[in-house]
Amino acid sequence: MQNPQLNKHGELTHLLSTEGLSKNIITHILDTAQSFVPLAERDIKKVPLLRGKSVFNLFFENSTRTRTTFEIAAKRLSADVYNLNINSSSTAKGETLLDTISNLTAMQADIFVVRHEASGAPYLIAQHVEPHIHVVNAGDGRHAHPTQALLDMYTIRHFKKDFSNLTVAIVGDILHSRVARSDIHALTTLGVAEIRAIGPLTLLPEGLEQMGVRVFTNMAEGLKGVDVVIMLRLQHERMKGALLPSSQEYFKHYGLTEEKLALAKSDAIVMHPGPMNRGVEIDSAVADGPQAVILNQVTFGIAVRMAVMSIVAGASV
């Protein structure tokens, strides 16, 4: 079956998932992002690669980092950006997702950036649009968050240079995490030595071992000797029923404190996609500490999203 992210020439035309992306494509995105990073130091932080193109930000779920950095990225590429306010749009009157897309297409949209609570929504849109229109998944349900994974890969490459000797631990609510799934696919493709998943049994999905992931329910054991720690938020909004005794109990066993972080390598980096719940999955001393690269992730997100939009639009340098 043809990869729905690729056009008939094998080029990336939509970004829907890190699953199925080749190492060459991921590396091309990271290299392109790297070429955009110095732009942030210039007086005029713009390049004309998407001049005259219209980017529609469609966020059917809340977002701070992804939505804002997509907007900044599109503006730095000189695109015209339209942020649809979903709450005051005709979606609230019952218009279907595909009717909304058809109407925005009639307004000459070129790129749709889509976040949706339903897994698969960006795939549906990608099947529906004409070939000259591009869809970028900004997070769908618990399925995928490919640009977050790509900015995570960029951050890891920036601080650790080479993926092949790394042990990466992903900690917390992996069951509900689209970031964890997308990170695991990207880390596997980039050839890290070991991926670990750490969390309570109730928050670990089935099938992790089949994906080549080592599973730990004891955080102290799981953190021993790791190079990268990716902390995840407890996604209460996606939990049906009580999967945990309490936030305090969770913090005691799975919250990242300085004491627990000391079990990782001394130069380990700490990442978090945000939003963070301080005192639940991460202690402030770690979140604001010298090993945290959490705000670097946000900054790199702009360059990575510039790279993704310019590449899918066939406009990259």
CA distances from residue 80 to 111, 142, 236, 293, 312 in whole angstroms, order as listed: 10, 30, 35, 31, 16
**Cβ 280 to ligand CP, closest distance in Å?**
16
Q: Any binding-site annotation on 157? A: no
Nearer Cβ to ligand CP, position 33 or 47?
33
**Cβ 62 to ligand CP, closest distance in Å?**
6
Nearer Cβ to ligand CP, position 67 or 134?
67
* Length of the chain as a residue count: 317
**Cβ 292 to ligand CP, closest distance in Å?**
15
Binding site for ligand CP (CB under 6 A): 63-67, 139, 148, 273-275
d(CA 36, CA 31): 9
Q: Which residue has the tokens 């999955």?
A: 281
Question: Which residues in the chain belong to E strands, given as ranges?
Answer: 54-59, 80-84, 111-116, 134-140, 167-171, 194-198, 213-216, 228-231, 269-271
What is the Rg, in whole angstroms, of the alpha carbon atoms belonging to the chain?
A: 19
Contacts of 230 (CB under 8 A, 6+ apart): 152, 168, 169, 170, 171, 179, 180, 183, 271, 272, 273
Q: Any binding-site annotation on 65? A: yes
Nearer Cβ to ligand CP, position 49 or 304?
304
d(CA 171, CA 77): 35
d(CA 199, CA 178): 15
Q: Any binding-site annotation on 238? A: no
Nearer Cβ to ligand CP, position 256 or 294?
294
Nearer Cβ to ligand CP, position 7 or 235?
235
Q: Tell me the residue nearest to ligand CP as measured from the CB.
A: 66
**Cβ 143 to ligand CP, closest distance in Å?**
13
Q: Any binding-site annotation on 64? A: no
**Cβ 218 to ligand CP, closest distance in Å?**
27
190 near 163, Cβ under 8 Å? Answer: yes
Q: Any binding-site annotation on 134? A: no
**Cβ 217 to ligand CP, closest distance in Å?**
25
Q: Any binding-site annotation on 155? A: no
Q: Any binding-site annotation on 93? A: yes
Nearer Cβ to ligand CP, position 62 or 165?
62
List the structure tokens of 243.
């999967």
233 near 279, Cβ under 8 Å? Answer: no
Q: Any binding-site annotation on 76? A: no
In the annotated binding site for L-aspartate, the residues are 93, 178, 233
In the annotated binding site for carbamoyl phosphate, the residues are 65-66, 115, 145, 148, 274-275
In the annotated binding site, the residues are 65-66, 93, 115, 145, 148, 178, 233, 274-275
